[in-house]
C-alpha cells in the first residue's frame, strides 16, 4: 500500500471578483471579525487516542520528576513476592519488544491491589500460567497438563512472567519525547478496576452498566465486569444471547443536542484484546460496522435514536479529515490488535501507529486548535506501585500512562493531579457544552448512575495542562515507519 502523503498547505488566494461585475457595484460591507476565542475555547478539536494494557510504571516508572518507582539510594526500593521462587522480584528493565502481561479482570485487579498493598502482580501472573488455554492455536501455550471440556488433553500457558519488567526512553523514544515536550500525567487512573469493555463504556459515557429493559435508562445497574456483552464476546456467540442494550446516557447524546460534531474511528482488522479479558485468544475481526468491545457506541440507544451511527467510521477517514482540516469537535480512536500495544502486540508497532495519528494532526491545518489526549485503557497485568483511590462503588482502577499533546500544552509539564478518563468527558463538556454534565438531574435523560463522575471532588481539571496565553507551539513531528493500510505481521 502507498505511504500516506501529507498535503502542502499553500497560501495562494483564488480571486472571486470578476466576470459580469460592474465597477459601480457598491463594495459590500465587511462582516465584523469574530470575537477571539479565550481560554479552553481555543481548543476546537479534542482527539482521544486509547491504546491497550500498559501501566504507568511499566512505561514511565523511571521518567525524571514523575511519580515513578519508589527509590532509595538511586535504586528501585520495591520488591514483590514471587511464590514460585520463594523470593521477591524487583522491577527490572525489559528491552523486549514483545511483552506478555497478565489477566486484567475485576478479580485480577482486586488480587494485584491486595488491599492497597500493590503486591499481587507476580502471584496473579503465575496463577494465569496455570489456566487452561482458551485457544488451542495459541503459540504461547505449552503442552502440559489440563483437560479440555471434551476430555481431551489441553495446552497450558508456557508464557514467561514479565509483569515486573519496565521500558524507558530506549524502547519508547517517541512517547518519552512527547513527555519532554508536552504534558505527562502521572496520576491517571483507569475509571474502573476491570477490563477493556467497561473502560470503553466509561470513556464515552462515564459509566458501565447492565440494563434489563431495552430503551429504559432506569433499568440499568452498575456492572464493571459483565455489562451487556456485544456479539463478539465468546460466550455471547456460543449461547446466541440477545445483543446488548446500553440504555443509559452517553456523551454523544449531549453533543448531538448541542449540535457538536463527533466521530468514533475504528481501525479495521482484528480486535485488540480477548473477548473476556483472557491472556490469549483467537483473533476476532473488527470493522467500523462491527459493534463490539472496542466499538460499543452502536449499542447505545441514544446513538441509534439520534441517527448518528454513521459517525462510527473507518480510521482512514480520520487521516483524511486531519489532512483537510475537517476534524469533528470530538474524536475517539480505537486500534486494531497489531497496533494496540496489547500483549503480545509489539511496543514498537503501537508507538509508530500512535505517532502517525499525532503526525497527521500536526501536519494539518487543525493543529493549532486541537488537544490530543493519549492513554492506555487498563494496566494489562503490569506492575504499578500506586494504590488507586476509591471514588465510588466502581473505581478508580489501576494507574495508566496519560499524555496531553497540543499547541497550547505546557512544555515538559508533569501533571500530578488525580485523573481518570472522566477528566476527558469533563474537558469536552466544559469546552463545547457550557459545563453540562452527564447528570441525571439535568441532562434530560435520567439514569441511576451512582456518581456524576465529572463532578467528583478528587478529579483534577485538564485545563491546567494548557497555557492558553502562549503563542501556539509548532508541531513536533516524530519519525515513524507505520503506513496505514499495510499488512502488519509483528515479529519479536
Q: At 395, is the secondary structure helix, strand, or coil?
A: strand
45 belongs to a structural domain: yes
Instruction: State the pLDDT at residue 84.
Output: 87
Q: Which H or E run contains 385?
A: none
Number of domains within the chain: 1
In the predicted model, is pLDDT for residue 2 greater than 60? no
pLDDT category at 1 given cuts 50, 70, 90 is very low
Q: What is the pLDDT of residue 203?
A: 97
Of 81, 78, 74, the C-alpha closest to 91 is 78
CATH of the domain at 303: 3.40.720
Q: Is residue 231 part of a domain?
A: yes
Which pLDDT score, from 0 to 100, does residue 282 have?
55
Structure confidence by residue, pLDDT tens digits, 375-399: 999 999 999 999 999 999 998 999 9
In terms of pLDDT, which residue wins out, 485 or 37?
A: 37
Better-predicted residue by pLDDT, 282 or 115: 115
Judge whether 439 lies within some domain: yes
Nearest CA-CA partner of 195 in 293, 269, 334: 293
Domain contains 387:
yes
Torsion, CA 94, CA 99, CA 100, CA 105, rounded to 10: 100
Average pLDDT over all residues of the chain: 84
In a domain, 490, yes or no: no
For the entire predicted model, the pTM comes to 0.85
Label residue 316 by pLDDT band (50, 70, 90).
Answer: very high
| DSSP 8-class letter at 221 | E
> For the chain, how far is it from start to end, CA to CA, in angstroms?
23
**Tens digits of residue pLDDT in 233-281:** 655 555 566 778 899 999 999 999 999 999 999 987 655 545 444 444 4
Per cent of the chain over pLDDT 90 is 68
Q: Is residue 157 in some structural domain?
A: no
262 part of a folded domain: yes
Domain with 263 in it: 40-56+171-465
**Is 35 inside a domain boundary?**
no
Sign (positive or negative) of CA dihedral 416, 197, 124, 172: negative
Amino acid at each position: 500500500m502507498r505511504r500516506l502523503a501529507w498535503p502542502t498547505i499553500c497560501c495562494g488566494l483564488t480571486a472571486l471578483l470578476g466576470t459580469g461585475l460592474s465597477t459601480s457595484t457598491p463594495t459590500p460591507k465587511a462582516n465584523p471579525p469574530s470575537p477571539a476565542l479565550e481560554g479552553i475555547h481555543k481548543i476546537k478539536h479534542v482527539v482521544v487516542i486509547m491504546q491497550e494494557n500498559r501501566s504507568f510504571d511499566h512505561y514511565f516508572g523511571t521518567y525524571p520528576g514523575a511519580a515513578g518507582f519508589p527509590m532509595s539510594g538511586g535504586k528501585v526500593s520495591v520488591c514483590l513476592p514471587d511464590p514460585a521462587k520463594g523470593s521477591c522480584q524487583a522491577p527490572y528493565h525489559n528491552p523486549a519488544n514483545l511483552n506478555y502481561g497478565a489477566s486484567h479482570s475485576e478479580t485480577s485487579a482486586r488480587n494485584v491491589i491486595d488491599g492497597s498493598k500493590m503486591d499481587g502482580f507476580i502471584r496473579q501472573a503465575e496463577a494465569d500460567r496455570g489456566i487452561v488455554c482458551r485457544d488451542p492455536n495459541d503459540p504461547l501455550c505449552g503442552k502440559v497438563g489440563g483437560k479440555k471440556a471434551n476430555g481431551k488433553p489441553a495446552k497450558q500457558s508456557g508464557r514467561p512472567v514479565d509483569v515486573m519488567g519496565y521500558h524507558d526512553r530506549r524502547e519508547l523514544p517517541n512517547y518519552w519525547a512527547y513527555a519532554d515536550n508536552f504534558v505527562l500525567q502521572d496520576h491517571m487512573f483507569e475509571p474502573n478496576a476491570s477490563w477493556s469493555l467497561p473502560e470503553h463504556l466509561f470513556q464515552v459515557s462515564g459509566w458501565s452498566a447492565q440494563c434489563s429493559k431495552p430503551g429504559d435508562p432506569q433499568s440499568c445497574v452498575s456492572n464493571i465486569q459483565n455489562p451487556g456483552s456485544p456479539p463478539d464476546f465468546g460466550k455471547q456467540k456460543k449461547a446466541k444471547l440477545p445483543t446488548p442494550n446500553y440504555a443509559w446516557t452517553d456523551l454523544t447524546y449531549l453533543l448531538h443536542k448541542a449540535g457538536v460534531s463527533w466521530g468514533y474511528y475504528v481501525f479495521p482488522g482484528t480486535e485488540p484484546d480477548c473477548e473476556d479479558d483472557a491472556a490469549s485468544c483467537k483473533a476476532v475481526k473488527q470493522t467500523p460496522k462491527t459493534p463490539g468491545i472496542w466499538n460499543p457506541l452502536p449499542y447505545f440507544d441514544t446513538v441509534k435514536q439520534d441517527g448518528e451511527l454513521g459517525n462510527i467510521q473507518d480510521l482512514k477517514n480520520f487521516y483524511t479529515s486531519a489532512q483537510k482540516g475537517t476534524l469533528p469537535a470530538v474524536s475517539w480512536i480505537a486500534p486494531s490488535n497489531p497496533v494496540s500495544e496489547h500483549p503480545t502486540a509489539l511496543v514498537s508497532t503501537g508507538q509508530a501507529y500512535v505517532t502517525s495519528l499525532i503526525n497527521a494532526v500536526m501536519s494539518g491545518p487543525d493543529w493549532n486548535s486541537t488537544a490530543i489526549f493519549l492513554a492506555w485503557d487498563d494496566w494489562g497485568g503490569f506492575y504499578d506501585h500506586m494504590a488507586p483511590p476509591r471514588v465510588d462503588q466502581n473505581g478508580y482502577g489501576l494507574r495508566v500512562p496519560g499524555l496531553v499533546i497540543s499547541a497550547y500544552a505546557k512544555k515538559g509539564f508533569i501533571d500530578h493531579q488525580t485523573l481518570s478518563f472522566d477528566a476527558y468527558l469533563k474537558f469536552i463538556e466544559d469546552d463545547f457544552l457550557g459545563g453540562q454534565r452527564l447528570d441525571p438531574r439535568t441532562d434530560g435523560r435520567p439514569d441511576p448512575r451512582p456518581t456524576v463522575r465529572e463532578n467528583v471532588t478528587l478529579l483534577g481539571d485538564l485545563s491546567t495542562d494548557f497555557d492558553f496565553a502562549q503563542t501556539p507551539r509548532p508541531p513536533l513531528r516524530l519519525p515513524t515507519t507505520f503506513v496505514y493500510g499495510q499488512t502488519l505481521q509483528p515479529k519479536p
